[in-house]
Structure 1
Amino acid sequence: MTLVSSANALPEANTPSPRPPRPGARLHAVLFHVTGVLVAALFLAPIVVVVLASLRPLSQAGAPLPPWPTTGLAFDSYGRLQSFGTGLLHYAGNSLFVALGTTVLTVLVSVLAGYGFSRFRFPLKSLAFVLILSTIMIPFQSILTPLFLILAKLGLQNTLTGLVLLYTTLQLPFSVFMMRNAFDAVPKEIEEAARIDGVKGLRMLVYVMGPLVLPGIVSVGLFAFLNAWNEFLAALVLLTDQEKYTLPVLMTAVRSGRYGAVDWGAVQAGVTVMMIPCLLLFLALQRFYIRGLTAGAVK
């Protein structure tokens, strides 16, 4: 009976006791959270100031301080922005068409190109990939005039479709690089097992490889959407018809005002409207975005 009791008591005696907290561990945790809150407040402060400035009445719209309304919230700035030209919703629709079109084309081409560079062998493969990446080093502003002439020759100048093609071309080098790395991170044994089961061709890419590289696809799409949504210079140069303006170009037209006056309230309202889709999209896809960057771009 004594032996049994000793055997039963042995595991309890060998069970390690919990380690006492290290000196200063609680202070370290407090400093970590305080620093995180301060950094978050530092980044959120400009957004809060812009939103509150857009809610000031017209009499306070141009006042630099305080940024918050002192006589209650007012939506006059959004009304003036809506009354500009053909209306805010029309210009937002133009930006949405350009951003979504750029995203779809960029994802489609970069996924196919990345899969080809990762899994297939063909002549001058390395040279072609280096040439694609080398275009990242060319400043966009230096080739804007040739691009304008090319689009004018094709009849796509002053069209939203031409803007979509231009943004897709500028976004593709980095997107192809990301997708090539994302496909390289997938073991080839998975494809071999799928081929044994009879999966091949486009079905292999869509049903087998697609879910595995989904974070990379989301990252590429998010980059393409944000760049196309916020791009200003190409839209300003290529678009001459006011009805085809995107939101960044609209902000320039609103900022010009009449007789040199700047309607700061309408400008801040436009900036607020432009921020909303970007924030919502990033918050919804941030989990895939972070995984895509860590698994693909920094491989």
Structure 2
Amino acid sequence: MTLALEQTRSSPARRPRRKGARLHAVLFHVAGVLVALLFLAPIAFVVLASLRPPAEAGTPPLPPWPTTGLDTASYARLDAFGAGILHHAGNSLFVSLGTAAVTILVSVLAGYGFSRFRFPMKGLAFVLILSTIMIPFQSILTPIFLILAKLGLQNTLTGLVLIYVTLQLPFSVFMMRNAFDAVPKEIEEAARIEGVKGFRLLVFVLGPLVLPGIVSVGLFAFLNAWNEFLAALVLLTDQSKFTLPVLMTAVRSGRFGAIDWGAVQAGVTVMMVPCLLLFLALQRFYIRGLTAGAVK
């Protein structure tokens, strides 16, 4: 008797809730698909425009599919600019990987120091590091140029890496300090009791725990260095050392006033592919780094 009463009371109430939950889930997925299409549409148009014949490359994106089939001639024309697309992509890759590696190394050590050690004027030093974010890069471009010239690093990819690392470090140190703050000190104390100290403690014990923060710092540094334009344009004068963003200005300017839109779209596609692949491969760590390390 009691079971029958409970079933009659619970079943009518559960059905509207289940229907409401299903409707909510359907609307959520439909909205997600629409937003994804909204963001993917420009990427698809760029890729398809790079595969169009020259006569169709500069036309509006409708119809999106090439009417005369796929054509890879735009990538061949892009390779004719400068020293070749692979050479300039190698320059960008060297600068981006170097920036990410040095930024990770310095920010991990600095973040660990600010998180675990006590030293005089610690708070002031951290505030001064963060305050450099408010300085516009354009306002210090001339002193940076003169400093690199004095050091003999002007017009070198190594000098460009040092500039990018300097610009990326304030935000990276902030993220890594918060990432280390989120790790309980009891874990570090237990490792010290077991005899793990110094660099081994930082790499083998704390390193895996702050890995999402490290990946986030490296991803930010790589993407910023890969897409940066102004510093590379001003500090690099040798055409063979141009990175991809600087090369794209030459492609965009065209020859004899004529813009090769197919080569432009091909260059955008080449620049876009590494960023997409890297983000898709590391998005799990990136999201965890932002939620667990960067925001307390």
| Cα deviation digits, residues 223-256 of structure 1 (max 9, x gap) | 0000000101100111111100000000001111
Answer with 258-267 or 91-100: which moved more.
258-267
TM-score scaled by structure 1?
0.93
Q: Distance in 1 between matches of 2:119 and 2:257?
A: 59
In structure 2, what residue type is equivalent to 1:114? G
Task: Answer yes or no: is 1:171 the counterpart of 2:168.
Answer: yes
Q: Distance in 2 between matches of 1:82 and 1:260?
A: 19
Counterpart residue number, 1:34:
30
In structure 2, what residue type is equivalent to 1:254? V
Q: Distance in 1 between matches of 2:277 and 2:51?
A: 20
Counterpart residue number, 2:20:
24
Counterpart residue number, 1:194:
191
Deviation at 1:68? 3.1
TM-score scaled by structure 2?
0.94
Larger radius of gyration: 1
| Cα deviation digits, residues 77-132 of structure 1 (max 9, x gap) | 00001121211000000000000000000000000000000000111100000000
Q: Distance in 2 between matches of 1:163 and 1:48?
A: 32
Q: Distance in 2 between matches of 1:223 and 1:285?
A: 11
Task: Answer yes or no: is 1:57 the counterpart of 2:53.
Answer: yes
In structure 2, what residue type is equivalent to 1:173? P
Q: What is the Cα-based RMSD across aligned positions, in Å?
A: 1.7
Task: Answer yes or no: is 1:72 the counterpart of 2:72.
Answer: no
Task: Answer yes or no: is 1:135 the counterpart of 2:165.
Answer: no
User: Alignment partner of 2:32: what SS?
Assistant: helix
Which runs of structure 2 are paired with 1:142-181 in the superposition (5 Å)? 142-181=139-178
Residue segments in structure 2 that go unaligned for 5+ positions in a row: none
Deviation at 1:65? 4.1
Deviation at 1:21? 4.8
Q: Distance in 2 between matches of 1:184 and 1:266?
A: 48
Q: Distance in 2 between matches of 1:85 and 1:285?
A: 32
Counterpart residue number, 2:271:
274
How high is the sequence identity, in percent, across the aligned residues?
85
Which runs of structure 2 are paired with 1:2-17 in the superposition (5 Å)? none
In structure 2, what residue type is equivalent to 1:206? V
Counterpart residue number, 2:230:
233
Which runs of structure 2 are paired with 1:253-272 in the superposition (5 Å)? 253-272=250-269
Q: Distance in 1 between matches of 2:237 and 2:170?
A: 28
User: Alignment partner of 1:24: what SS?
Assistant: helix
Query: Aligned pairs, how many?
Result: 287
| Cα deviation digits, residues 167-202 of structure 1 (max 9, x gap) | 000000000000000000000000110111111111
Task: Answer yes or no: is 1:96 the counterpart of 2:93.
Answer: yes
CA spacing shift, 1:65–1:190, aligned 2, 3 Å: closer
Q: Distance in 2 between matches of 1:53 and 1:121?
A: 57
In structure 1, what residue type is equivalent to 2:180? F
Residue segments in structure 1 that go unaligned for 5+ positions in a row: 1-9
